[in-house]
């Protein structure tokens, strides 16, 4: 039993989270890249000295990094043992983006720093930032046709980037010589390091206030309680075996779908996850490394039980069979640029589909499930410099037992928001001609799915190349308990007087565009929940009044009788 009183325990818990929040804010406010400063594609956390297990992550961090940063911190710890004699110094900072060492895709670059208290290693601080470019075949790193990881960009094992607080200029030179728009990356690098410095100061203040022994005891107790709370939530699920599946459009190289087959076994207070029946490794970039696969399950369960605090104890009751021999357990040199932003969401979707049969009152239909990764790289003649614009967008959330899905929500895996149109237009030679809800994309149901978005980007000047790695272009997000699927992702590029549609629908690269050409994208809507013919006529009338569906669409989706009742009401 803990000797810490409940009030002190709660204050330390919130204090640890606040340390992470302040790191996030320091990172966001000083980063150069809009994807970080405006889109908030980053995360910060505190990790255990022995195995890198999660101690705390702030509310402002991307959920998908919850699991992966544990593994990348563990990789750093192993590298310290094997290459640095097991010792580190205050001010050391390691950099790593190797997907196979606890990573995601190469663009997610991690910094890991030892935290010392009174000369003793107390914890590790780590953060992840999405760099807009790390080299590779195409600007932005999202190569839809890569067949090996080297084509996706520069891969960094854990190396000591800062030594006793001093940046290694030789390592910096290697990095900057292998990526595009290098002058902007130095700003992101310094912001990322500054965020860890902020965490160092704030965590020192917290330990000074309560004492090293008390904080250590609190961390252990918080982990025990998180595991206990998760087991209590799992116990609410009826024992049994539940199955679900989801589909990736294609791998970008072979035009054939990839299937995730999820079997969840509930016994007592544990959940077992078996994905070994999924598709084999693929040629293109839609393979997922095991850290991302595991993290996708963690975040999916956190969506189902959002009240359970996040630390390593949260994941203890989740037993995951490594899906070796499938595209969900990528090994070198399989390409992986789509794993974090796309495949992870398909994994979560399969979890939701399976558990809908077990606890329908807590679940929901599938959300849009794609980050809508779009990269445009080119040369701006007015400013006399090259640029890389990386964009991600929202989509519809699925309907649920309680109500309709959210329209234009962020991706399943994050809290990231699309950088504001005005900011994007200031940074890059583009003009948004349209940005609106994509009416009609919400899947029909007793509670319908939310709407995706529709946008159009016109190239204002200079030549450029367009690449995208998206998903749900073939089949929309699946409905639940009789609900209809959401609308699909579409991409159209108007260039040279013709309209180009990618052969893989949601994935392509190196499409040449010039002044006046337009990129048009529609993101998926969420799936519907329950029988559409049970939808409240008043809700249908509201949807018609708002222009979400035409009369013809509503009649086809909800039934002519429902539409008549809505009109009469």
CB 486 within 8 Å of CB 441: yes
Query: What's the pLDDT at 3?
Result: 82
CA 60 to chain centre: 13
Length of the chain: 569
CA–CA separation, 469 and 370 (whole Å): 9
Which tokens is 28 given?
């966001």
Element (H, E) at 260: strand 258-267
**Residue pLDDT, tens place only, 65-89:** 877 899 999 999 999 999 999 999 9
Query: What's the pLDDT at 561?
Result: 74
Q: Is the peptide bond before 333 cis (omega within 30 degrees of 0)?
A: yes
Q: What is the 3-state secondary structure of 321-370?
A: CCCCCCCCCCCCCCCCCCHHHHHHHHHHHHHHHHHCCCCCCCCECCCCCC
Residue 155: pLDDT band with limits 50, 70, 90: very high
Give the closest residue to 361 by CA, choosing from 532, 179, 238.
238
**Residue pLDDT, tens place only, 242-274:** 999 999 999 999 999 999 999 999 999 999 999
Q: Averaged over 126-134, what is the pLDDT? A: 94
314: Cβ contacts below 8 Å, ≥ 6 apart: 226, 227, 229, 230, 298, 302, 308
- Radius of gyration from C-alpha coordinates of the chain: 24
Which of 408-422, 456-470, 510-524 shows the lowest mean pLDDT across its residues?
Answer: 408-422
Q: What is the pTM of this model?
A: 0.95
In Å, how far are 76, 334, 474, 546 from 96, measured between CA atoms? 8, 18, 35, 48
CA 264 to chain centre: 22
Query: What's the pLDDT at 497?
Result: 87
CA–CA separation, 63 and 504 (whole Å): 28
| pLDDT exceeds cutoff 70 at 2 | no
| pLDDT exceeds cutoff 80 at 134 | yes
Please give the mean pLDDT across all residues of the chain.
94
Element (H, E) at 56: strand 54-57
Give the closest residue to 110 by CA, choosing from 196, 1, 236.
196
Which tokens is 233 given?
């939530």
With residues binned 3-state (H G I as helix, E B as strand, rest as coil), the percentages for the chain, rounded to 5, are: 35, 25, 45
Query: What's the pLDDT at 1?
Result: 53
């Amino acid at each position: 039993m803990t000797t810490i009183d409940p009030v002190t325990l709660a204050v330390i818990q919130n204090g640890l989270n606040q340390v992470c929040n302040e790191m996030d804010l320091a990172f966001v406010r000083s980063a150069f890249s809009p994807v970080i400063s405006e889109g908030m594609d980053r995360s910060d956390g505190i990790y255990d000295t022995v195995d890198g297990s999660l101690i705390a992550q702030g509310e402002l961090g991307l959920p998908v990094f919850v699991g992966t940063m544990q593994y990348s911190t563990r990789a750093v710890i192993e590298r310290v043992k094997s290459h640095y004699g097991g010792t580190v110094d205050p001010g050391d900072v390691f950099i790593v983006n190797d997907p196979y060492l606890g990573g995601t895709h190469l663009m997610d670059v991690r910094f890991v720093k030892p935290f010392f208290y009174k000369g003793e290693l107390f914890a590790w601080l780590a953060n992840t930032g999405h760099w807009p470019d790390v080299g590779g075949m195409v600007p932005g790193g999202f190569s839809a046709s890569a067949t090996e990881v080297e084509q996706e960009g520069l891969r960094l094992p854990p190396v000591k980037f800062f030594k006793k607080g001093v940046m290694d200029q030789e390592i910096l030179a290697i990095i900057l010589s292998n990526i595009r728009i290098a002058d902007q990356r130095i700003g992101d690098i310094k912001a990322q390091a500054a965020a860890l410095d902020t965490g160092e100061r704030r965590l020192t203040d917290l330990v000074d206030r309560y004492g090293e022994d008390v904080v250590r005891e609190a961390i252990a107790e918080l982990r025990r309680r998180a595991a206990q709370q998760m087991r209590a939530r799992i116990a609410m699920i009826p024992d049994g075996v539940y199955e679900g599946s989801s589909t990736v459009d294609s791998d970008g190289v072979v035009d054939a779908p990839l299937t995730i087959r999820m079997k969840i076994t509930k016994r007592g207070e544990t959940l077992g996850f078996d994905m070994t029946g999924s598709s084999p490794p693929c040629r293109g970039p839609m393979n997922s490394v095991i850290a991302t696969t595991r993290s996708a399950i963690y975040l999916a369960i956190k969506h189902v039980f959002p009240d359970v605090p996040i630390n390593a104890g949260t994941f203890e009751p989740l037993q995951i069979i490594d899906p070796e021999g499938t595209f969900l357990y990528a090994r070198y040199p399989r390409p992986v640029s789509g794993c974090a932003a796309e495949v992870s969401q398909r994994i979560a979707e399969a979890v939701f589909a399976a558990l809908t049969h077990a606890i329908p009152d807590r679940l929901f239909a599938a959300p849009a499930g794609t980050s809508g990764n779009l990269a445009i790289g080119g040369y701006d003649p007015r400013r006399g410099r090259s640029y890389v614009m990386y964009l991600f967008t929202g989509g519809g959330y699925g309907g649920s037992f309680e109500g309709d899905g959210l329209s234009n929500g962020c991706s399943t895996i994050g809290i990231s928001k699309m950088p504001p149109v005005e900011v994007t237009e200031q940074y890059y030679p583009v003009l948004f001609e349209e940005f609106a809800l994509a009416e009609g994309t919400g899947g029909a149901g007793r509670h319908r799915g939310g709407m995706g978005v529709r946008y159009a980007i016109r190239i204002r000047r200079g030549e450029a190349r367009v690449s995208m790695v998206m998903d749900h272009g073939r089949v929309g997000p699946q409905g639940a308990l009789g609900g209809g699927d959401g609308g699909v992702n579409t991409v159209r590029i108007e260039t040279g007087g013709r309209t180009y549609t990618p052969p893989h629908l949601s994935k392509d690269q190196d499409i040449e565009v010039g002044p006046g050409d337009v990129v048009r994208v529609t993101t998926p809507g969420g799936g519907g929940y329950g029988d559409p013919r049970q939808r409240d006529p008043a809700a249908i009338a509201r949807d018609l009044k708002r222009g979400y569906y035409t009369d013809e669409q509503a009649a086809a989706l909800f039934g002519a009788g429902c539409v008549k009742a809505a009109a009469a009401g």
